[in-house]
Structure 1
Amino acid sequence: MKIFTAEQIRSWDQFTISHEPVSSIQLMERASMAVAHWISEHCKNHKKLAVFCGSGNNGGDGLAVARILYLKGFDIDVFISDSKRKLSEDASVNLKRLRDLSGISVRKFDPDEHYSFDDKTIIVDALFGTGLSRPLEGEYKKLVEQLNSKKNTKISIDIPSGLSADEMFDNNPVILKADYTLTFQCWKRTFLHPETGKYTGKVEVLNIDLNKAYADTADTAYSVIDDQLIESIFIPRQEFSHKGSYGKAIIAGGSYGKIGAAVLAVKSALKTGVGLTFALAPECGYEILQTSCPEAMFIKGGEHFMTNFDIDSSFTCGIGPGLGTHSDTEKSFLSFMKNYTQPLILDADALNMISKDPKNLKLIPKKSIITPHPKEFERLFGSTDDSFKRLELAREKAKKLDIYIVLKDHHTQIITPEGNVFYNITGNAGLAKGGSGDVLTGILTSLSAQKYSEKHTCILGVWLHGRAAEIASEKHSKESMLPTDVIDTFGSVFEELNKKITRNL
């Protein structure tokens, strides 16, 4: 799913109006019907709504939603601005339609008034939409501050008021903190970054049938990984195949006291389809790896830590889990990097050793995949003020080094050498545990060995990791789930994918 800017979304609306038999007011009604349907289906225990409407088209959506839900039996109070700002044409139409009905209270909102709502009242935010270009001020700022103090469930239409669709406003702006955001047609970038995404609550993307031709042809560097993309990438297992059909993966990692990280990566590779899996690890991990991962073959790479990275170029290699940064390991690893030209999957201590000298970045083979978390990224490339600037720096470095960067975060970002960005929306806070990154390294090494392209390896791998975490959390909870639980649910994810592929044939 492509992510468009606020300006592109306005163009998309206009394109739809000009290419289909639909007017702007009819398009507003279509969007409002979608919102009203979602609320009526998901808020059955709440029959009272307080709808706060601005003067623009977002306010027009709110007025139309209020009318539709009133006719569905909801008790509705509507609050509109008392400012001199003129209502948009479509908002004016919907205000008239609303006032033609008896039984709905329409009042001017007063930010100095202390609103008191019972626990069953839902606050609907329709103050400002994606067109907002500056932080809230005046009466709107006061009102949002007051609404944020309420414990009532809050639903924002399209975007929480005070939030830009495309960027982060400076100086701690006031933004409505929603429990749900019912957004139209596509994700907005600010929903996907930690500094701004915390205001959206759970995001629901409502399809309002904007013209598909615009989405197909409009250019954007940003996308969300959706089911349609995953189903186009995933390659089902072929019946007439053998272990040689699915490649050879080698996980290089482990050191005394950190063999568990190598175990997680090796198990992850084994469980995600690669034909042959090897563990290149120090001898102190031999019994642990052979016992916990009997399907994998062991190659000695040292005694208590890694000192030998003798890796055949026919293998797909993931390096880093539990590797440690011993001086002899570092010397051997960097020597290996100077002479190895095939793409690698690099994580954890491999990245930490590279980050010790900026010159080491040039040793990363082209088309390699690196998987830093924010701190590892900072050590590699320098600090930034926020996650938006960090992403732009990642785009710059991916282009310069001709590599793929999997920038781990709540919504992990995959950055390609062309500067394209794919946001992942699977996963949860249960992955915020040591070992989760090792599991991802194993997945990526396995998929790459199976001849998925680097781009598809990253997209499918990160999505699969997140989806497995969702299933694991349903069984164990986010608090108690472990990285091993994530590995154990890979089979369920592959079952889902195979069923979807079969159903779509």
Structure 2
Amino acid sequence: MQNLLTSAQLKMADVFTIQKQSISSVELMERAALAFVETFSEAFFERKNHIAILCGQGNNGGDGLAIARLLTQGGYMRVKVYLINFSTKQSEDYTKNLERLTKRKINPIPISKAEELNELKADIVIDAVLGSGLNQPLAGEYAALADIINRLSQKVISVDVPTGMPPEGELPEVYNGIKADLVICFQQPKLNFFFPESVKALTKFKVVDIGLDEGFIANQQSDWKLTTESDIQNRIKPRANFSHKGTYGHALLVAGNYTTMGAALLAASACLHVGAGLTTVCLPQSGLIALNTALPEVMALPRNEQLAIEAFEKFNAIAIGPGMGLEEENEMLLARLIELKKPLIVDADALTILSKRKELFDALPPQSILTPHVKEFDRLFGLHQNWWQRIKTAQKEAKQRSLVIILKNQYTFICLPNGEVHVNPTGNPAMASGGMGDVLTGLIVGLAAQSYTAANAAILAVYLHGQAGDELAKTRFTVNASALALQIPKTIQKILD
């Protein structure tokens, strides 16, 4: 897992790298500027573009000055540099890069008031005003500048972080910083890039390697981890010779109701296609024809009030909730499953039941997995003002209750009992359609049945779910849940090849 660091820790990585590699801070800045320009040039290769570079007086502005010089050297002849002189202080590396720029006979334009940019004309604006040290909303001339830039129709590219966006911590309810079409960030993403509120500050980001010491980064204490494909490769267990259906476990899905059998079918399909040896769905009698027709490989356990607890003891992993309904008999069934004292995967309607029956929630066996979307999460744990607060609550509750909590979104967060928060990078807006959560639940229980730990089942399922969606989205505008479930074996094989 890639360690994700705070901005303060990344500054420590800068210092360590400078010392270990015997380079100066301005040389590291040059390296960052080169990496920025390479990525910028790939996205905006037309050298005739009018480019306006706004440079603050700190190190972010120093990056901007170096970028201006390198772009000009690279053939971009319509580059104008604006010095945002709203402060009396200049960083040392800013001053050095300003000297280098003027030696190239590039004369920057000093700006002492934001209103001087009202008539700014450019095809592309590069935002290098304020960097990652900011932890409060913009004020004064900086706020006025951001307002002017946001009213322009030009593309805005931010250096490392949009001006006005805190790199971690609670994002303000009203964001008054610069909105970037693209952020080219150094070494790794800022933590807040993964939160839904970041849409107010940026559309997308790209990470460029500037050669910070990876050993130092890996050794830092951080609860935040980014899942990579190599992590998934290392966790997937290859199918062994002479193995059989019994080798890969028996999964049970308690799912579906009279009008919601689709949820059960989607979850069962995902469980089947992720490799569970046997899959059974505990469903109403009315769903038997649909199940047998759609998925003949899947077995049925008709759901009724007479089901004794012994009927569930043979299963290696149990998931409950997709399309199940909120009837009293389903509450009783959830209570019986909790009495087994085996870890459960709890989703959808079962989460709603837990939010109403706190005694059942408190009795959940350790290593159970919860898969809430935002509204389900707040029903369980109380209202939250933002996603940073939710993750902090999930982190605390996962530790206290020894649970795995999967908080679903474009970047899904997986909170583990050891306090770690794993950020999943796969998935895309084409997947915004019904049934996706049912497929995810099926993947988790299918993996859990194969003896994956709760943490690994969650990490693998979320990554595979998003990666399958990414592969399908290459050739289609939207991705439906049925197609996603069928894609899973292909996605796993691609990762293993």
**Normalized against structure 2, the TM-score is what?**
0.95
1:259 Cα deviation after fit: 0.7
Q: 1:191 to 1:465 in 2, by over 3 A?
A: same
Pairing partner for 1:153 from 148, 152, 155: 155
* 3-state SS of paired residue (1:359): helix
CA distance in 2, matches of 1:89, 1:234: 49
Q: Which residue of 2 aligns with 1:35?
A: 36
1:377 Cα deviation after fit: 1.0
Alignment of 1:17-416 (within 5 A): 17-45=18-46, 47-74=49-76, 75-102=78-105, 104-109=106-111, 110-113=113-116, 114-118=118-122, 121-170=123-172, 172-302=174-304, 310-337=311-338, 339-416=339-416
Q: Which residue of 2 aligns with 1:491?
A: 489
Contact in 2 for aligned 1:261/1:435 (Cα 8 Å): yes
Q: Deviations over 1:189-213 (max 9, x none)?
A: 1111111344122111111110122
* 3-state SS of paired residue (1:288): helix
* 3-state SS of paired residue (1:129): coil
Deviates more, 1:166-175 or 1:422-431: 166-175
Q: Deviations over 1:103-126 (max 9, x none)?
A: x341013411323425xx111111
* 3-state SS of paired residue (2:125): strand
- One-letter code aligned to 1:5: T
1:295 Cα deviation after fit: 1.1
CA distance in 2, matches of 1:169, 1:440: 29
1:169 Cα deviation after fit: 4.7
Deviates more, 1:347-356 or 1:306-315: 306-315
| Unaligned stretches of 5+ residues in structure 1 | 500-505
Is 1:11 aligned to residue 12 of structure 2?
Answer: yes
Q: Deviations over 1:340-389 (max 9, x none)?
A: 11111110111111111222212211101110111111111111111111
Q: Which residue of 2 aligns with 1:447?
A: 447
CA distance in 2, matches of 1:169, 1:267: 39
Q: Deviations over 1:3-48 (max 9, x none)?
A: 1111111111111111112110110011110001111122113633
The number of aligned residues is 491
CA distance in 2, matches of 1:206, 1:462: 25
Contact in 2 for aligned 1:313/1:342 (Cα 8 Å): no
- One-letter code aligned to 1:78: V
* 3-state SS of paired residue (1:476): coil
CA distance in 1, matches of 2:220, 2:422: 16
- One-letter code aligned to 1:12: A
CA distance in 2, matches of 1:484, 1:105: 59
1:253 Cα deviation after fit: 0.9
CA distance in 2, matches of 1:308, 1:58: 65
Contact in 1 for aligned 2:324/2:349 (Cα 8 Å): yes
Contact in 2 for aligned 1:55/1:88 (Cα 8 Å): yes
CA distance in 1, matches of 2:308, 2:410: 35
Q: Which residue of 2 aligns with 1:503?
A: none
Q: Which residue of 2 aligns with 1:430?
A: 430
Contact in 2 for aligned 1:190/1:197 (Cα 8 Å): no
CA distance in 2, matches of 1:65, 1:11: 23
CA distance in 2, matches of 1:22, 1:496: 41
Q: 1:409 to 1:326 in 2, by over 3 A?
A: same
Q: 1:215 to 1:84 in 2, by over 3 A?
A: closer
1:483 Cα deviation after fit: 0.8
Q: 1:29 to 1:327 in 2, by over 3 A?
A: same
- One-letter code aligned to 2:240: Q
* 3-state SS of paired residue (1:112): helix
1:224 Cα deviation after fit: 1.6
Q: 1:36 to 1:143 in 2, by over 3 A?
A: same
Q: Deviations over 1:61-107 (max 9, x none)?
A: 010011001101112111112334222111111111111113x3410
CA distance in 2, matches of 1:152, 1:450: 52
1:332 Cα deviation after fit: 2.8
CA distance in 1, matches of 2:342, 2:277: 19
* 3-state SS of paired residue (1:318): strand
- One-letter code aligned to 2:119: Y
CA distance in 1, matches of 2:476, 2:244: 35
Q: 1:496 to 1:270 in 2, by over 3 A?
A: same
CA distance in 1, matches of 2:423, 2:86: 39
Q: Which runs of 4+ in 1 moved over 6 A?
A: 306-309
Q: Which residue of 2 aligns with 1:502?
A: none
* 3-state SS of paired residue (1:50): strand
CA distance in 2, matches of 1:435, 1:7: 40
CA distance in 1, matches of 2:20, 2:101: 29
| Unaligned stretches of 5+ residues in structure 2 | none
Between the two proteins, what is the percent identity of the paired residues? 35
Q: 1:351 to 1:160 in 2, by over 3 A?
A: same
CA distance in 2, matches of 1:52, 1:279: 60
Contact in 2 for aligned 1:301/1:308 (Cα 8 Å): no
Contact in 1 for aligned 2:233/2:496 (Cα 8 Å): no
* 3-state SS of paired residue (1:223): strand
**Normalized against structure 1, the TM-score is what?**
0.94
1:185 Cα deviation after fit: 1.0
- One-letter code aligned to 1:406: I
CA distance in 1, matches of 2:17, 2:387: 33
Contact in 2 for aligned 1:168/1:196 (Cα 8 Å): no
Q: Deviations over 1:443-465 (max 9, x none)?
A: 00111111111111111110111
CA distance in 2, matches of 1:257, 1:204: 44
CA distance in 1, matches of 2:270, 2:467: 14
* 3-state SS of paired residue (1:493): helix
Contact in 1 for aligned 2:440/2:461 (Cα 8 Å): yes
Q: 1:116 to 1:216 in 2, by over 3 A?
A: closer
CA distance in 2, matches of 1:271, 1:72: 50
Contact in 1 for aligned 2:229/2:495 (Cα 8 Å): no
* 3-state SS of paired residue (1:195): helix
* 3-state SS of paired residue (1:78): strand
